[in-house]
Structure 1
Amino acid sequence: MKFWQPLRKYASLIIVIGFAIWAAWYARQHAESLAILGNLSIWWVILLLGLAILKLTTMGLFTKVIMASLEISLDFPEWFGLSAMTSMGNYLSPFRGGAAIRGVYLKTKHNLPYTLFLSTLSSLYVLSFSTNAVIGLLAMTALWLGLGITNPILTFSLAACLLLPVALFVVVRWTPRLPGRWAEGLNRVIEGWGFIAARPGAMIKLIALSILNASVTLLMIHFSFAALGTNLPLVKSLIISTLFLVSAMIPITPAGLGVAEMILVLTSQTLGMTDTLSILSAGLNRSAMLASSLLLGPLFGYLLSKRTEAKTSSEEKGGELGIAIIGTTLSGNKGAAAMLLSGVENISKLVHNPQFKVFSIYPQEDRQVNRDERIKIVSAKPLALLMAVPLAFLWWMLAQLDLSPGLLRRNRILETLDRSSLLIDMSGISFSDGRGIVLAYNTACILPALLLGKPVMKYSQALGPFESFLNRLLAKILLPRLEVIAARGEITQAYLQELGLSNVRLCADAAFALDDTKNPIEFQQLVQTLNRSKERKVVGIAASSVVRAYCRRMDIDYCQVLADFANRIMAARNYDVWLIAHAMRRTRKGGRTSDVDTCQTIYDLIKDKSHCRLLSKDYSPTVLRAIIENCDYFIASRFHAMVSALVKGVPMLVTAWSHKYREVLLMFGLENWVLSHRHLTATSLLERFEALLKDENEIRAQMAQYLPHVVHSSRQNAQLAASLLNTLGRTQD
């Protein structure tokens, strides 16, 4: 399973490279057979190009009909131009990159939500997929009746292509929405199908267009064989065209490159054709579509971009220096907010008139809590960020041809990057083994900026280890291209040195340099409600939903462990306990970015609630630090809760899931006070806590001794950013 997972994620590149190697080998082995291309008549070329443009027309009509059902009227330059641009994008990038261009234009020009666009697009694919499967089955039946040729595997595959969508919609009748995150894509198809099914007029038009599109593809296949001197029966041409249409809807490689050819080679013998003839025919069709797309795509891209002219750059408007920040938020994880606020404050001391554009996965929530005029929130939800990757790739391709990106500037993420002088990635941890889909997000955070030619810096963060195939591959490709990587500790630095990187600097976490000297009114009011007893000491516990999830994998009841520990110290030592949610979202109590549910579960297990406080409101990073300062001892599962305890000199134990905790504690000589989540029990936690009480004075002294050096190291993050910006001559004198 561990071996196949990275292969599946990197399937596009593997297939394309494999196909290129095979094509080169095949051309060398069949050089004489390929000589027929030299005798190709120009009239055949013109005919195929004409049919390719007709195919672009039918594809554009799909968009026109869908938009009309949404009461959005598209004129010819729009519906045809978007078709040409979509086709161009699909050929230049995998995973339907052209569809992303269409989505951006419709969002910008006609305010069509991405979610609605994706749902209708998905349902359209299913409709076309099913229609082509029906056509293919009819063609196989005709082939059997007319020529006595059968292919059970091909027939079964086409039947499956038809039955799978049918089965899905049968299930929908009983379950309108499927549960679980895995079903998000299917739910999107279901929602789009429900929208189309409620409009029978649009449904009939779309089915007619699917048949028309299949007919045009049939003619292209038939005439491409004729151009090569073979008069192929129409029924065989229809089967081949159906295979092409179905395989083109598998968004693994650019326009299904390699997939369709592989299927064609496997079925060529059944249809009585040679491999060479099939490959040449496929090559002619692809060449015609590619030529028409590359000719018309940039032309209509330029025309449509004129309709949605981008605004002037920020420097032209007021001399402001645009600094883009990604990988952090103001809401959710308050440690991320502490890093962001610290970075903004310290960079502003070194840079003249900066404007910070923060790419946020929670844009609405972040706008509500943002109080800094220097910070502008830009929506960068995971889906939009992933869609920006193929668009950025197209931007890079156009730049190589000295062409303007035109309409691509209407994508808000790319537009913001284009106006920015520097991108700072403030992810707390990135490119680390075993984090699954998070690796895709880590990649999407920096890849668009690199493709746009923007300098990228990683603010102090943890990276590595790099043992897994895909993580190591992406790290070796992307990380050397960054201007500077601030390693948060010696362990991360060692991991990066193993990759042979020379752009690494050691800097403490940015939150160490957070200005918390202003005691807000919010905390003063909180102190009154806490009503802390002077006779009882307080143990703060910053529980973490992330550590809870890691413990669950080890069959450890994290909440029960912390509750048992709290119950014992309250009973044996007459201590009070404060349960602190260091990550909190107003719209969600659970998940990786909110500890409210975790803290609530622990609180429910507390026996004596009169001496336990649940602090789970949406506190700011400085208020949370002030709360931690008022604790006598601390148990930290959240990383930046640990940072606050170090800053305020509060002796603590750390329950950790990653090396990122230990490498920071090494700066204070306190690495022995880390407990791995793998061995977490109430007994082990209590034993280490008793040892902590004995060494309390020594621990406080070490924190005080090393803190000035660590804070200075933390401020080096801003110094590095200012040095990069200094090359533009934009820092203060």
Structure 2
Amino acid sequence: MKNKNAKSYTNAIGIIVLLLIIAGFIYYIATHLSDFKQLSLVNPIFILYLAIIVLLFSIASGLILKYTLVPFGIKMKFKEWFGLSTITTFYNTITPFRGGMVAKAVYLKKTHKFSYTDFLANYSGIYIINFLASGLLGMISMWFLYKESSQFNLVIFLIFLAFFIPSLGVIIFSPNLKDTKYSIINRVINLINGWNKLRRNKLVVFQVIIITIVQLALGAISSTISYHIFGIELTLSQAFFLVSIGTIAGAFSITPGSLGIAEAVAVFSALAIGITPAQSLTVAILGRAVSTIIIFILGPIFSYFLLKNSKENNSKNEK
């Protein structure tokens, strides 16, 4: 009963936050309508490129899942790892607090007997590497921004540093721990040891770091193209700066698909490099529209395939 009440409470918070952000955006648009009217689609054909990048990003996410499951003895084919990547984004989009993660965990548990403890360790490990790469590239992009235009924001730099250093520490220093006589403590120990199973496989860690950097590069290219569609040109350092902040902020989602949160972060981070809210909000809405269309096409399709695959595997195990 307490869990249901807590879930209802957190869902209510997410909805309230979303409504407040949407109300803020509506107010801003209504009071700055002239700024938005000045924007126009200069290169609409580039929207097709954004759709391709959304697909490539999903493939990269699927590959990360595929490689990080290898140390746990799980091997997946394309339909599974790409499908799980797609439905994770799909259910994250339609449910608050990352419902896609729950769907993925349940599928892996039923189909591959992958424990929830190991799943959380795997999930945490992916985010640790994500924070490491985002923090590092964010600081590098800020250095280039300072060299190019003397732009520097100490608070944002410290945020990047605050994610980079602990992530690096966890990757380098994570001892194996022995079980205790306390079951609750043992759950935490199993979580840490599950991460160590992943961390010890240096090839997998290297693969995930490379793919994560590729994802950040795809995000930077997507940002550059999105602004270019409206005739606004970004430098490479500006694009990496925006995507690094967006990636870190995206981990803390309390609304469906980070709706409103992602757009708010995009607007405020863009302000730091001289981009107006009208420009950044328009670009963010375009990106949201493109990704939502792609995910809403693929999500139900792969939900059906994976549900069917899970039932077939369960039938084989029963025999």
Shared fold (TM-score, shorter chain, > 0.5): yes
> Does 2:107 align with 1:111?
no
Corresponding residue to 1:218 among 217, 220, 230: 220
Structure 2 partner of 1:19: 21
Structure 2 partner of 1:126: 128
Structure 2 partner of 1:249: 251
Specify the code of the residue in structure 2 equivalent to 1:269: L
> Does 2:86 align with 1:84?
yes
Separation of aligned partners in 1, 2:178 and 2:39: 53
Per-residue deviation, 1:303: 2.0
Alignment of 1:66-215 (within 5 A): 66-166=68-168, 172-173=174-175, 190-215=192-217
Per-residue deviation, 1:115: 1.8
Q: Closer, same or farther in 2 for the Cα pair 1:244/1:206, shift >3 Å? A: same
3-state DSSP of counterpart to 1:136: helix
Per-residue deviation, 1:227: 0.6
3-state DSSP of counterpart to 1:281: helix
Specify the code of the residue in structure 2 equivalent to 1:24: I
Specify the code of the residue in structure 2 equivalent to 1:56: S
For the Cα contact (< 8 Å) 1:218–1:241, is it kept in 2?
yes
Per-residue deviation, 1:264: 3.1
Per-residue deviation, 1:287: 1.8
Q: Closer, same or farther in 2 for the Cα pair 1:183/1:11, shift >3 Å? A: farther
- Give the TM-score of the pair, scaled to structure 2: 0.85
Alignment of 1:520-599 (within 5 A): none
Q: Deviations over 1:629-652 (max 9, x none)?
A: xxxxxxxxxxxxxxxxxxxxxxxx
3-state DSSP of counterpart to 1:94: coil
For the Cα contact (< 8 Å) 2:174–2:196, is it kept in 1?
no
> Does 2:297 align with 1:301?
no
For the Cα contact (< 8 Å) 2:98–2:253, is it kept in 1?
yes
> Does 2:8 align with 1:30?
no
Separation of aligned partners in 1, 2:79 and 2:169: 38
Separation of aligned partners in 2, 1:106 and 1:137: 36
Separation of aligned partners in 2, 1:148 and 1:283: 29
Q: Deviations over 1:134-157 (max 9, x none)?
A: 110111111112221110011011
Larger RCO (CA under 8 A, 6+ residues apart): 2
Separation of aligned partners in 2, 1:184 and 1:45: 50
Q: Closer, same or farther in 2 for the Cα pair 1:76/1:175, shift >3 Å? A: closer
Per-residue deviation, 1:20: 1.5
Alignment of 1:253-332 (within 5 A): 253-309=255-311
3-state DSSP of counterpart to 2:286: helix
3-state DSSP of counterpart to 1:143: helix
Specify the code of the residue in structure 2 equivalent to 1:34: F
Q: Deviations over 1:498-538 (max 9, x none)?
A: xxxxxxxxxxxxxxxxxxxxxxxxxxxxxxxxxxxxxxxxx
Q: Deviations over 1:468-489 (max 9, x none)?
A: xxxxxxxxxxxxxxxxxxxxxx
Structure 2 partner of 1:612: none
Q: Closer, same or farther in 2 for the Cα pair 1:188/1:215, shift >3 Å? A: farther
Q: Closer, same or farther in 2 for the Cα pair 1:143/1:69, shift >3 Å? A: same
Q: Closer, same or farther in 2 for the Cα pair 1:310/1:61, shift >3 Å? A: closer
For the Cα contact (< 8 Å) 2:177–2:193, is it kept in 1?
no
Separation of aligned partners in 1, 2:188 and 2:253: 16
Corresponding residue to 2:41 among 39, 42, 60: 39
Alignment of 1:156-555 (within 5 A): 156-166=158-168, 172-173=174-175, 190-309=192-311
Q: Closer, same or farther in 2 for the Cα pair 1:130/1:183, shift >3 Å? A: farther
Separation of aligned partners in 1, 2:31 and 2:63: 42
3-state DSSP of counterpart to 1:108: helix
Separation of aligned partners in 2, 1:251 and 1:270: 22
Specify the code of the residue in structure 2 equivalent to 1:106: L
Per-residue deviation, 1:238: 0.7
Specify the code of the residue in structure 2 equivalent to 1:112: F
For the Cα contact (< 8 Å) 1:221–1:237, is it kept in 2?
yes
Separation of aligned partners in 2, 1:149 and 1:178: 51
Per-residue deviation, 1:176: 7.6
3-state DSSP of counterpart to 1:95: coil
Structure 2 partner of 1:60: 62
For the Cα contact (< 8 Å) 1:120–1:196, is it kept in 2?
yes
Separation of aligned partners in 2, 1:70 and 1:173: 18
For the Cα contact (< 8 Å) 1:36–1:228, is it kept in 2?
no
Per-residue deviation, 1:118: 1.7
Separation of aligned partners in 1, 2:77 and 2:162: 38
**How many residues get paired?**
306
More strand by share: 1
More helix by share: 2
Unaligned runs of 5+ in 1: 312-733
Per-residue deviation, 1:198: 1.2
Q: Closer, same or farther in 2 for the Cα pair 1:225/1:151, shift >3 Å? A: same
Q: Closer, same or farther in 2 for the Cα pair 1:62/1:125, shift >3 Å? A: same
Separation of aligned partners in 2, 1:97 and 1:167: 29
Separation of aligned partners in 2, 1:185 and 1:280: 45
For the Cα contact (< 8 Å) 2:41–2:231, is it kept in 1?
no
Separation of aligned partners in 2, 1:177 and 1:251: 33
Separation of aligned partners in 2, 1:308 and 1:57: 21
3-state DSSP of counterpart to 1:222: helix
Q: Deviations over 1:579-636 (max 9, x none)?
A: xxxxxxxxxxxxxxxxxxxxxxxxxxxxxxxxxxxxxxxxxxxxxxxxxxxxxxxxxx
Per-residue deviation, 1:185: 8.9
Q: Closer, same or farther in 2 for the Cα pair 1:177/1:151, shift >3 Å? A: farther
Unaligned runs of 5+ in 2: 1-5, 314-319
Per-residue deviation, 1:191: 3.0
Q: Closer, same or farther in 2 for the Cα pair 1:152/1:92, shift >3 Å? A: same
Specify the code of the residue in structure 2 equivalent to 1:116: D
For the Cα contact (< 8 Å) 2:15–2:255, is it kept in 1?
yes
For the Cα contact (< 8 Å) 1:129–1:249, is it kept in 2?
no
Separation of aligned partners in 1, 2:285 and 2:184: 37
Q: Closer, same or farther in 2 for the Cα pair 1:230/1:11, shift >3 Å? A: same
Q: Which of the two has higher C-alpha Rg? A: 1
Separation of aligned partners in 2, 1:186 and 1:222: 42
Separation of aligned partners in 2, 1:191 and 1:250: 24
The CA RMSD over aligned residues, in Å, is: 3.0
Separation of aligned partners in 2, 1:161 and 1:51: 26
Per-residue deviation, 1:254: 2.3
Q: Closer, same or farther in 2 for the Cα pair 1:189/1:150, shift >3 Å? A: farther
- Give the TM-score of the pair, scaled to structure 1: 0.39
Per-residue deviation, 1:280: 1.4
User: Percent of pairs identical after alignment?
Assistant: 23
Per-residue deviation, 1:132: 0.8
Specify the code of the residue in structure 2 equivalent to 1:138: I
